[in-house]
């Protein structure tokens, strides 16, 4: 067990080490061990390619939208990644690589980014011009688009003003919005040059530019009625939307006008199976070629299976499983005046120290994962595996609990009214919550009220600050520590469901965001995490490792730790089907 | 002539019914072997419901994690030492959880059926007997109830009442029972109404009316006993139906709060393991099937026993 | 009869109105909203979206806007599937759901009623036990378990049919069987009970005593009379099958609308949820009219005025 974990860790180290000089100071030293989760398989010779280059995958449900600007759900993104490409892209080693932009210049103050575009065309044959990027960036920031990811435009000059208009009461007039849009720091001096001006030297912005929301959009297309239907769709990436049978199937075909190397695949068929067990069955019946993730319950069986065992692998993901403790530090939230015991630091430490994370992972995640003791994920600069202030230690847990109880003026944990332990039902969290609750009950006699709710009710109450403890998870949008920490643990942050607030921590994050030197920046993020984890504001459990099954004839796959629905979904164009 | 004789017989039967209905019925019931089997199974279910947690080898929430880890992180199979029916992935004893779940499932069975009978039979009888406007109104009401968004209702109730006694009762399931009951009495009501409509036109009812028997007496003495067959079936089917409705809700994510488990939530959880650890779904399903067999045979037996015309037959 | 029918059909309007009000109030009273995601949307963006969809207006005004659209046949924009109108979503999925429901209904009748009759005729002998056993297995196996078992056995192990999807007749087989499983068992039980009830009726005894051959008695009197209570449950069963196939559509990835009846609640897709509820309410109310008419047809004793 431990050995396998090390293997995965080492393979991540390989990824991190390959990230190129400056960014990898955080990578664990032993980067020579071969990893289990192969990031990329070399392309085979053309001779044994199958005649039918059709890939069958599953995207687990109808994409809510295929309009890049408002898209946010993973089954939208997995399709959009085949249809569009932004200026820069993140490769399998989490490096920033050119995509639509051939090259770029960064000004000395790191506030002006100038991109030089390729000679590229849309699927309809029109030239991709820098003006389309100006339009696309403005559309993202436009409050009338109400894009969930519009916050990534906050760093662009004029961005905060536009985002402020979104919730303004009374609503601003169209003229005011248009004027503000004109002030957004994006410009197209000529058709092949695109310039972004930032508010601050936000060094992570280049990383954020790899997001699906920053792709070129032809205004005449996206504003036309039914733009996202297959018949009208205009793409700028390696594939075109050939068919969209709603709620049933999407078929992609190569984009003849794409500027990159033409894909070998002739078609990609994407089915939509909301039930994981059915998708798993479809793989075993040979109807689909890959599945991500394999349902946890099926992992032991699949690994032991003579046929599927060899097709099984595990891929690290930029994701973390953690449980919030309510720190009750946000005056705007419910129960600020009526906090529970989790406001007490020693109490939180006792809860952390009494959880055996390895046992938790083995029992409820089929052993999959990398034990997490902090937040920034392995592979991202700022990850620090040496941070572990409160390892599993039942004796120390008792001492901390005794301290906490005396501070709270109680004689035993059994006197505490049942803690509200929130989670959402129907997503496999029940046994995990039961594991925690039973561990705390055994250790301290602490009772919990396990409140399973409908997802939306759960999110509403978690955000409102109703729970003492609640489950949580985070997946990286782009591989930068800023995306992991700010907003999640900064005072009053939108996703700060732990209600953690430490001004020193906030100041370190501001300092780090503006730091141009990547090594120094990574160190600042580590320093900030060390400070935060010392307060035990939440219970980190595991960094994601996803079980996948891939048929042996699927070749050329480039898997990244950011794949969420389909293995290799960032680089469909490299996939080939071998004879079988 | 023949009609008259039939009516006479009917009325005579009606009179005799009141004299020794229950002792007669009981006498017939215990002669029916299947009904006895049903009675035994229902008795066992009730016993498990009341004493289950006491006879269970483990408390329902205790986790034998070391055993699971020793088994390669997999749930223990049946016939493991200390765990007769095996465990789930946390090492919780399946037999103990089934015994504990029996209490919840027994409650489902009875609470829901009581709600259904208390509302459904009177509404159906009234609608069928009086007809006209009342019938129309009650039947349109049932249309509304049929289309009632019960899932929304349950979610809302469970949020609104979570902090109250009502919401915490039976580990959060009382709300689910009441919601299932409220939305399922309609079938029984329509069934009773259908029977009423058919029976009130029969000769024996017309005859009873002709000799001046009151409406209430005709309904309670003649129509209900004569139309009770499908209702008993509805109720005996309704019990496992309610257990399954609870399972389906558990599958969607509404219902009993962990770490408690009902048979339904055990099946819903076990369904994910149906391919690798089938015992997690098979045993709860067997429990539900046994409960169903018990109620079905008992129901059939009861119907036969209560049927006045069956005397002397079989 | 015509006036009766007209009145019954007109009654559907107040039924729909009542259901729409109840649902509208309930769905807005339930905590949460369509913009809930694990990653919280910026408050300003949520406010903007609310304004765009009119969620910032008073509830009565929102209802009137919805009702105004509904009577004109406009079901509004979907909150979840932002590129689409609910009208298009329903138009895409409804035929599939109806097809699946009707196929399962026919299967349930064709198997369930004969099974019940078979059991009743062999009352307390092996046909009865066989039928009862089939019913018990059918009723005590939840559809989500039955569905997965069917997939594993017939699609994965035997490879006879696909695991999911809806691209041709071979895709129809498993979902239809899985959906019909429970109704088969229920209909068989009701038919059996009703048949047994009827065998004890005086007119059957009279017919028997007059020397009518068994077969004639069975077909002419018993079945016809026995089907009356059975018909009562057929209406709701069909309505359940047509719209309540959430689990089956989900497990077999069937592109129908049944799955939205539940998923629209989970995603707080208000307009889609209202459309689904209205569809369901209409189906139930309409099928009940059909059932009552069937009643009169089967049972001449019932008269409508």
Contacts of C252 in chain A (CB under 8 A): 278
The beta-carbon neighbor of C288 closest among B143, B198, B268 is: B143
> ipTM score of the complex?
0.89
* DSSP-derived pairing of the beta strands A267-271 and A54-58: parallel
Asked if C25 has any chain B CB less than 8 Å from its own CB, the reply is: no
The SS3 of residue A56 is strand
Q: How far apart are CA A201 and CA A106, in angstroms?
A: 10
Task: Point out the residues of chain B with pLDDT beneath 70.
Answer: 1-25, 149, 160, 162-164, 166-171, 229-230, 237, 306-314
C-alpha atoms less than 13 angstroms from C-alpha of A402 in its C-beta half-sphere: 6
Q: Do A166 and C252 touch (CB under 8 A)?
A: no
Neighbours of chain B (3+ CB pairs under 8 A): A, C
Residue identified by tokens 């087989």 is C173
Q: Do B247 and C15 touch (CB under 8 A)?
A: no
Residue A120 φ/ψ, nearest 5 degrees: -135, 155
Q: Do A460 and C32 touch (CB under 8 A)?
A: yes
Q: Do C11 and B136 touch (CB under 8 A)?
A: yes
Neighbours of chain C (3+ CB pairs under 8 A): A, B
DSSP category for residue A265? -
pLDDT in tens, chain A (580 residues): 333 333 443 344 333 333 333 333 333 333 333 333 344 444 555 568 999 999 999 999 999 999 999 999 999 999 999 999 999 999 999 999 999 999 999 998 889 999 999 999 999 999 999 999 999 999 999 999 989 999 889 889 999 999 888 777 788 889 999 999 999 999 999 999 999 999 888 778 999 999 999 999 999 999 999 999 999 999 999 999 999 999 999 999 999 999 999 999 999 999 999 999 999 999 999 999 999 999 999 999 999 999 999 999 999 999 999 999 999 999 999 899 999 999 999 999 999 999 999 999 999 999 999 999 999 999 999 999 999 999 999 999 999 999 999 999 999 999 999 999 999 988 889 999 999 999 999 999 999 999 888 899 899 999 999 999 999 999 998 899 988 898 899 999 889 999 999 999 999 999 998 888 889 999 999 999 999 999 999 999 999 999 999 999 999 999 999 999 999 999 999 999 999 8
Residue of A nearest to C259 (CA): A274
Contacts of C47 in chain A (CB under 8 A): 166-167, 169
Q: How far apart are CA A335 and CA A326, in angstroms?
A: 10
Percent helix, strand, coil in chain B (nearest 5)?
80, 0, 20
Rg of chain C taking only CA atoms, in angstroms = 23
Q: What is the per-residue pLDDT across B157-201, written as a single tens digit (0 to 9) for each?
A: 777 676 667 666 666 777 777 777 877 788 788 788 877 877 777
Contacts of C29 in chain B (CB under 8 A): 156
Asked if C176 has any chain B CB less than 8 Å from its own CB, the reply is: no
Q: How far apart are CA A205 and CA A482, in angstroms?
A: 10
Contacts of C197 in chain B (CB under 8 A): 229-230
> Which residues of B fall below an 8 Å CB-CB distance to A?
61-63, 65, 68-69, 72-74, 88-92, 155, 158-159, 162, 251-254, 257-259, 269, 271-277
Contacts of C83 in chain A (CB under 8 A): 65-67, 227-229
Q: How far apart are CA C164 and CA C174, in angstroms?
A: 9
The beta-carbon neighbor of B69 closest among A300, A301, A362 is: A362
Restricting to A residues 136-165, those with a Cβ less than 8 Å away from any Cβ of C are 143-144, 146-148, 150-151, 163-165
Residue of A nearest to C166 (CA): A248
Q: How far is C134 from chain A (nearest CA, A)?
A: 26
Q: Do B73 and A295 touch (CB under 8 A)?
A: no
Contacts of B292 in chain C (CB under 8 A): 136, 139-140
Contacts of B281 in chain C (CB under 8 A): 145
Contact of C243 with C138, CB cutoff 8 Å: no
Q: Using DSSP, how many helices (H) and how many strands (E) does chain C show?
A: 13, 0
Q: How many A-B residue pairs are in contact by the CB < 8 A criterion?
A: 81
The SS3 of residue A167 is coil
Contacts of B223 in chain C (CB under 8 A): none
Mutation to test the A interface, candidates C35, C43, C44, most A Cβ within 10 Å: C44
Residue identified by tokens 């930029």 is A318
Residue B32 is encoded by which pair of tokens? 């029916």
Q: Which of A168, A97, B281, B142 is nearest to C147 (CA)?
A: B281
């Amino acid at each position: 067990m431990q050995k396998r974990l090390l293997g995965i860790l080492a393979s991540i180290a390989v990824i991190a080490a390959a990230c190129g000089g400056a960014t990898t100071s955080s990578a664990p030293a032993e980067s020579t061990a071969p990893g289990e989760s192969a990031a990329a398989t070399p392309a085979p010779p053309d001779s044994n390619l199958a005649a039918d280059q059709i890939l069958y995958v599953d995207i687990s449900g109808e994409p809510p939208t295929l309009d890049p600007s408002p898209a946010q759900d993973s089954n939208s993104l997995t399709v959009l990644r085949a249809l569009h490409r932004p200026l820069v892209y993140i490769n399998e080693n989490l490096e920033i690589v050119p995509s639509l932009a051939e090259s770029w210049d960064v000004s000395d103050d790191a506030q002006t980014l100038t991109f030089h575009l390729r000679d590229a065309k849309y699927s309809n044959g029109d030239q991709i011009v820098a003006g389309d990027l100006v339009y696309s960036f403005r559309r993202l920031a436009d409050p009338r688009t109400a894009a969930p990811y519009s916050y990534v435009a906050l760093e662009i000059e004029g961005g905060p003003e536009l985002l402020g208009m979104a919730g303004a009461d009374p609503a601003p007039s169209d003229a005011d919005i248009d004027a503000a849009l004109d002030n957004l720091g994006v410009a197209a001096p000529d058709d092949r040059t695109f310039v972004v001006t930032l508010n601050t030297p936000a060094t992570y912005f280049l990383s954020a530019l790899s997001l699906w929301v920053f792709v070129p959009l032809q205004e005449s297309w996206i504003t036309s009625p039914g733009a996202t239907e297959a018949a009208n769709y205009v793409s700028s990436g390696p594939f075109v939307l050939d068919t969209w049978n709603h709620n049933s199937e999407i078929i992609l075909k190569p984009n003849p006008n794409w500027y990159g190397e033409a894909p070998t695949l002739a078609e990609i068929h994407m089915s939509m199976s909301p039930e994981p067990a059915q998708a798993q069955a479809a793989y075993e019946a040979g109807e689909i070629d890959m599945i991500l993730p394999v349902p946890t319950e099926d992992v032991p069986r699949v690994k032991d299976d003579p046929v599927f065992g060899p097709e099984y692998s595990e891929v690290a993901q930029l994701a973390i499983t953690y449980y919030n403790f309510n720190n009750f530090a946000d005056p705007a939230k419910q129960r600020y005046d009526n906090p529970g015991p989790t406001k007490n630091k020693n109490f939180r430490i006792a809860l952390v120290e009494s959880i055996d994370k390895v046992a938790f992972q083995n029992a409820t995640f089929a052993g999959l994962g990398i034990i997490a003791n902090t937040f920034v994920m392995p592979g991202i600069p700022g990850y620090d595996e040496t941070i572990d202030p409160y390892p599993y230690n039942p004796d120390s847990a008792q001492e901390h609990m005794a301290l906490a109880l005396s501070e709270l003026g109680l004689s035993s944990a059994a006197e505490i009214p049942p803690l509200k332990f929130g989670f959402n039902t129907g997503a496999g969290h029940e046994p995990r919550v039961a594991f925690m609750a039973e561990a705390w009950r055994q250790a301290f006699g602490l009772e919990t009220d396990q409140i399973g709710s409908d997802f939306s009710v759960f999110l509403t109450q978690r955000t409102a600050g109703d729970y003492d403890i609640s489950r949580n998870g985070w997946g990286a949008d782009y591989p930068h520590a800023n995306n992991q920490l700010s907003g999640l643990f900064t005072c009053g942050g939108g996703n700060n469901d732990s209600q953690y607030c430490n001004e020193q921590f906030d100041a370190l994050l501001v300092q780090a965001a503006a730091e141009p030197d990547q090594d120094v920046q990574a160190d600042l993020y580590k320093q900030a995490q060390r400070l935060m984890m010392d307060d035990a504001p939440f219970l980190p459990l595991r960094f994601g490792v996803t079980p996948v099954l891939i048929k042996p004839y699927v070749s050329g796959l480039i898997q990244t730790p950011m794949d969420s629905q389909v293995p290799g979904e960032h680089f469909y164009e490299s996939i080939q089907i071998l004879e079988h | 002539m023949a009609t008259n004789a039939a009516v006479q017989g009917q009325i005579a039967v009606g009179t005799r019914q009141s004299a020794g209905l229950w002792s007669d019925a009981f006498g017939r019931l215990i002669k029916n072997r299947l009904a006895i089997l049903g009675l035994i199974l229902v008795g066992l279910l009730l016993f498990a419901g009341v004493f289950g947690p006491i006879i269970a080898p483990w408390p329902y929430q205790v986790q034998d994690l070391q055993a699971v880890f020793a088994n390669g992180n997999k749930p223990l199979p049946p016939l493991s030492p200390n765990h007769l029916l095996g465990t789930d992935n946390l090492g919780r004893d399946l037999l103990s959880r089934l015994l504990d779940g029996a209490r919840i499932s027994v409650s489902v069975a009875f609470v829901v059926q009581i709600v259904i009978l208390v509302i459904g039979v009177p509404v159906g009888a009234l609608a069928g007997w009086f007809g006209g406007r009342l019938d129309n109104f009650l039947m349109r009401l049932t249309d509304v109830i049929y289309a009632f968004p019960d899932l929304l209702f349950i979610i809302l109730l469970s949020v609104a009442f979570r902090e109250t006694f009502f919401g915490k009762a039976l580990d959060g399931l009382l709300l689910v029972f009441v919601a299932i009951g409220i939305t399922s009495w309609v079938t029984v009501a329509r069934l009773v109404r259908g029977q009423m409509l058919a029976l009130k036109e029969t000769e024996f009812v017309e005859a009873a009316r002709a000799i001046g028997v009151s409406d209430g007496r005709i309904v309670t003495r003649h129509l209900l006993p004569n139309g009770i067959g499908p209702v008993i079936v509805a109720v005996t089917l309704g019990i496992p139906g309610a257990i399954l409705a609870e399972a389906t809700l558990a599958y969607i994510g509404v219902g009993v709060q962990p770490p408690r488990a009902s048979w339904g939530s055990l099946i819903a959880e076990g369904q994910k393991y149906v391919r690798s650890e089938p015992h997690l779904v098979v045993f709860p399903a067997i429990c539900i099937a046994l409960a169903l067999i018990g109620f079905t045979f008992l129901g059939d037996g009861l119907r036969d026993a209560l049927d006045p015309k069956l005397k002397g037959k079989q | 009869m015509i006036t009766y029918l007209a009145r019954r059909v007109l009654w559907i309007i107040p039924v729909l109105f009542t259901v729409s009000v109840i649902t509208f109030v309930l769905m807005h009273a339930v905590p949460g909203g369509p913009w809930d995601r694990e990653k919280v949307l910026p408050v300003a963006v949520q406010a903007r979206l609310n304004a765009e969809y009119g969620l910032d207006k008073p509830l009565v005004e929102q209802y009137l806007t919805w009702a105004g659209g509904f009577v004109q046949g406009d079901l509004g924009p979907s909150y979840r599937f932002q590129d689409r109108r609910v009208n298009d979503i329903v138009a895409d999925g409804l035929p599939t759901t109806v097809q699946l429901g009707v196929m399962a209904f026919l299967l349930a009748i064709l198997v369930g009623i004969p099974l019940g009759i078979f059991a009743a005729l062999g009352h307390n002998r092996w046909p009865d036990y066989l039928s009862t056993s089939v019913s018990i297995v059918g009723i005590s196996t939840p559809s989500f378990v039955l569905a997965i078992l069917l997939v594993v056995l017939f699609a994965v192990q035997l490879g006879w049919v696909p695991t999911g999807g809806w691209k041709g007749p071979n895709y129809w087989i498993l979902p239809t069987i899985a959906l019909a499983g429970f109704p088969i068992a229920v209909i068989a039980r009701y038919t059996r009970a009703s048949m047994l009830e009827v065998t004890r009726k005086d007119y059957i005894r009279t017919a028997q005593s007059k020397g009518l051959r068994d077969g004639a008695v069975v077909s002419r009197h018993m079945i016809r009379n026995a089907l009356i209570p059975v018909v009562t449950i057929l209406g709701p069963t069909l309505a359940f099958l047509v719209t309540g196939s959430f689990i089956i559509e989900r497990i077999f990835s069937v592109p129908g609308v049944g799955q939205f009846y539940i998923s629209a609640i989970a995603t707080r897709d208000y307009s889609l949820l209202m459309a689904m509820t209205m569809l369901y309410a209409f189906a139930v109310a309409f099928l009940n009219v059909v059932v009552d008419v069937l009643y009169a047809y089967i049972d001449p004793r019932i008269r409508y005025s």
